[in-house]
Amino acid sequence: MHAKRDQSWQPQPFLVSMARRNLPLLLFLALAAGGMLAVYFFFQSNGGAATAAAASVPGEDGALSAAIFKKIPAKPVLQRFAQSPGPERIVLIAGHRGHDAGAVCEDGLTEAAVNQLIAEKVYTRLRAANVRVDVYDEFDPRLQGFSGTALVSLHADSCDAIGDHATGFKISGSSRTDSSRLSTCVESAYAQATGLLFHANTITPDMTDYHAFREIADGVPAIILETGFLNLDREMLTTNADVPAQAIADGIFCFLEGE
């Protein structure tokens, strides 16, 4: 008669022997895992020296968000290379160009010619400073919806001999956006460089409601500048056109420094 076999579960001698034979390997894997966890928790807790950014990974609900820690400098470092155009975009309007002559003097000098001369000189100075700039006609189709850094329209005043007070300049800013800083920068630079007085009392509705203000995109700072009178200020606007051109460029640089 055979004895009953013990049906209780017994550990397998094979697993025990395998563990004993590979004990060094198992210890190495355990230490490696512990070291990786220690490194992970060390860098995760270093929140003062890192900034978290969100990384999106596709998942069942559209996206999963995980924290990625990346050290960044406290202040962004900006560098502009000489051969690369800057992010600014300025448009100059050479008043009346492509439309009519504007004011005309008895000897044939036209406002459009003076505006063109000064606009070209301002353009040269801005480009030399690596500012992206274009010169538009008075009713240039590119004005429609123009969205850039700023717009400056250049004009000159009457050539009529209307008395000793007919000298000076004036500026009007767009009422459709805040153009006060652009206006202030150009007004200050222009008055200082040219020595001309600001004619606030002769600003007309044609300036305050200048057509380009209504054509460009909302939010673009814009001004119209009457650089001087073609009679008493003629020499500065023609022979010495570098003076008003540099003043306008300096005013634009002043504005760009705050952008």
The pLDDT, as a whole number, for residue 44 is 58
- Confidence grade of residue 107 (pLDDT, cut at 50, 70, 90): very high
- Confidence grade of residue 132 (pLDDT, cut at 50, 70, 90): very high
Q: Which helix (H) or strand (E) holds 76?
A: none
Residue that is written with structure tokens 């717009």 in the block = 151
Residue that is written with structure tokens 């010619």 in the block = 113
* Predicted confidence (pLDDT) at residue 192 exceeds the cutoff of 50: yes
CB-side exposure of 152: number of CA atoms within 13 Å?
Answer: 38
Domains in the chain, please, with CATH?
89-257 (3.40.630.40)
Phi, psi of 124 (to 5 degrees): -60, -40
* Sign of the Cα pseudo-torsion (232, 96, 249, 224, in order): positive
Per-residue pLDDT, averaged over 165-194, amounts to: 95
- Distance of alpha carbon 38 from alpha carbon 32, whole angstroms: 10
- Confidence grade of residue 49 (pLDDT, cut at 50, 70, 90): very low
* Predicted confidence (pLDDT) at residue 72 exceeds the cutoff of 90: no
Per-residue pLDDT, averaged over 202-229, amounts to: 95
Cα 86 to the center of its chain, rounded Å: 8
Residues found in the chain: 259
Q: For the segment 217-229, what is each residue's pLDDT rounded down to a tens digit? A: 999 999 999 999 9
The pLDDT, as a whole number, for residue 75 is 38
Amino acid occupying residue 1:
M
Answer with the residue of higher pLDDT: 8 or 237: 237
CB atoms within 10 A of CB 105: 15
Left if phi > 0, otherwise alpha if psi is -120 to 50, otherwise beta: which for 95? beta
- Distance of alpha carbon 63 from alpha carbon 126, whole angstroms: 46
Q: For the segment 54-63, what is each residue's pLDDT rounded down to a tens digit? A: 334 344 444 3
Residue that is written with structure tokens 């008043």 in the block = 95
- Confidence grade of residue 15 (pLDDT, cut at 50, 70, 90): low
